[in-house]
């Protein structure tokens, strides 16, 4: 097996709008922000992942930072290919005489078009994959949470990522009905930026808004264990001078209210489309939350109140999709729902 492994390499990629994870030999070997820094003059890639993230919003005119994925799909083909290649290089630090042939399973949103699928497949092939399989995100999330997707039992999965929220009802190894909306983590971040500008007259960038979301982000006002207020630094719009203000989770809960309502509407609409026998199953099993958005404080409580159904958050929501993609990779030959 060791000899065979030398010539072939199997990797699973969760290509996300915000973060990209790569699984190799059942381990998460790469977990980096989906961002690339490119030199405008030579068009060379300077940095990928965390190093490029540190440059984001701080570059001069010769360097631009690009997030190649928008709303869960590839928006910049050239940058996406370089990003995938750069991240695969992070695994293959040891130089080999023979480049191994690669099998890849890549995760895609469920509402993706044929053209967007083609873009993912081409990017993976250009990055060196010989065989490419695609798997829908809700399916990967369900497998990663530990649900037996091939059972004749209905399960509802909500995967709130960076670019899209995927809501799907899964039974018998397939997606019975699904709803994909482009309201997710990125939308929350821009809501926070708008709120800071409107309410506090302070201009903050993407990265600061993201920090606010992680530190005091909340879906409901009355939390059992509220986080401490967070100090935000940004530019005062009146004077143009940098200043600091304190922000509480209550304010952020108000600023995110509209976007979370859109997700709730999508959940209700997916429940309406569900066949009655599966609705009966979901009443028993409840709803499973995965993806980075599942970590928003109080979101499970809020969805529970809205749907009157039990809501379970995956134990490591950020990596549920990647784990599921990794398991799908091991069983790639026998799983009917992988898109070849």
Q: What is the mean pLDDT of residues 304-326?
A: 93
Which one is predicted more confidently, 188 or 116? 188
Tokens read off for 201:
């007259």
Instruction: State the pLDDT at residue 4.
Output: 43
In tens, the pLDDT along 128-181 reads: 888 899 999 999 999 999 999 999 999 999 999 998 999 999 999 899 999 999
In tens, the pLDDT along 87-131 reads: 888 886 655 545 667 888 999 888 888 998 898 898 888 888 888
Tokens read off for 132:
């490419």
pTM above 0.85, yes or no: yes
Instruction: State the pLDDT at residue 65.
Output: 92
Instruction: State the pLDDT at residue 100.
Output: 67
Partners of residue 339 on adjacent β-strands: 134
Stated as kind and residue range, the H or E segment containing 51 is: helix 50-55
Which of 96-105, 238-247, 262-271 has the weakest average pLDDT? 96-105
pLDDT grade, residue 262 (50/70/90)? very high
Q: What is the mean pLDDT of residues 263-273?
A: 95
Which of 4-8, 141-145, 205-209, 295-299 has the weakest average pLDDT? 4-8
Instruction: State the pLDDT at residue 93.
Output: 62
Q: Characterise 172 by phi-psi region: left (phi > 0), alpha (psi -120 to 50), beta (else).
A: left
**Sign (positive or negative) of CA dihedral 285, 158, 14, 106:** positive
Could you tell me the domains of the chain?
154-183+260-314 (3.30.420.40), 185-255 (3.90.640.10)
Q: What is the DSSP string of 294-334?
A: GGSBTHHHHHHHHH-S-EEE-SSHHHHHHHHHHHHHHTTTT
For residue 181, give the 3-state DSSP assignment. Answer: strand
> Which of 245, 244, 261 is closest to 188 using CA atoms?
261
pLDDT grade, residue 5 (50/70/90)? low
Going by their DSSP bridges, the two strands 101-108 and 8-15 should be labelled as parallel
> Which of 74, 126, 72, 71 is closest to 104 using CA atoms?
126
Instruction: State the pLDDT at residue 129.
Output: 87
Which one is predicted more confidently, 26 or 236? 236
Q: What is the mean pLDDT of residues 2-10?
A: 60
Q: How many CB atoms lie within 10 A of CB 63?
A: 16
Instruction: State the pLDDT at residue 97.
Output: 47
Q: What is the mean pLDDT of residues 303-317?
A: 94
In tens, the pLDDT along 55-84 reads: 988 888 899 999 998 888 888 888 888 898
Supply the mean pLDDT for the chain: 90
Q: Does residue 235 have a pLDDT over 80?
A: yes
pLDDT grade, residue 254 (50/70/90)? very high
């Amino acid at each position: 097996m060791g000899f065979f492994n030398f010539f072939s390499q199997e990797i699973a990629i969760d290509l996300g709008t915000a973060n990209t994870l790569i699984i190799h030999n059942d381990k998460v070997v790469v977990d980096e922000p989906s961002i690339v820094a490119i030199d405008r003059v030579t068009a060379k890639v300077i940095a990928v992942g965390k190093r490029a993230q540190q440059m984001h919003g701080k570059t001069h005119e010769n360097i631009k930072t690009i997030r190649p994925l928008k709303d869960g799909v590839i928006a910049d083909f050239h940058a996406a290919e370089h990003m995938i290649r750069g991240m695969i290089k992070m695994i293959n630090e040891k130089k080999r005489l023979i480049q191994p042939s690669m099998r890849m399973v890549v995760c895609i949103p469920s509402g993706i078009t044929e053209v967007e699928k083609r873009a993912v497949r081409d990017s993976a092939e250009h990055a060196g994959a010989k065989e490419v399989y695609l798997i829908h995100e809700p399916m990967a999330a369900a497998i990663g949470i530990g649900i037996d997707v091939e059972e004749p039992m209905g399960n509802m999965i909500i995967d709130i990522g960076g670019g899209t929220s995927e809501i799907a009802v899964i039974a018998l190894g397939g997606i019975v009905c699904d709803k994909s909306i482009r309201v997710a983590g990125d939308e929350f971040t821009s809501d926070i930026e708008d709120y800071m500008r409107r309410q506090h007259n302070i201009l903050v960038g993407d990265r600061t808004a993201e920090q606010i979301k992680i530190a005091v982000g909340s879906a409901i006002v009355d939390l059992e264990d509220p986080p401490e207020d967070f100090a935000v630094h940004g530019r005062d719009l009146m004077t143009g001078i940098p200043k600091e203000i304190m922000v509480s989770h209550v304010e952020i809960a108000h600023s995110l209210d509209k976007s979370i309502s859109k997700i709730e509407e999508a959940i209700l609409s997916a429940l309406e489309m569900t066949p009655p026998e599966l609705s009966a199953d979901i009443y028993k099993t409840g709803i499973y939350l995965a993806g980075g958005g599942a970590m928003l404080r109080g979101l499970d409580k809020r969805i529970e109140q809205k749907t009157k159904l039990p809501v379970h958050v995956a134990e490591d929501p950020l990596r549920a999709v990647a784990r599921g993609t990794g398991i799908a990779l091991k069983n790639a030959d026998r799983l009917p729902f992988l898109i070849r």
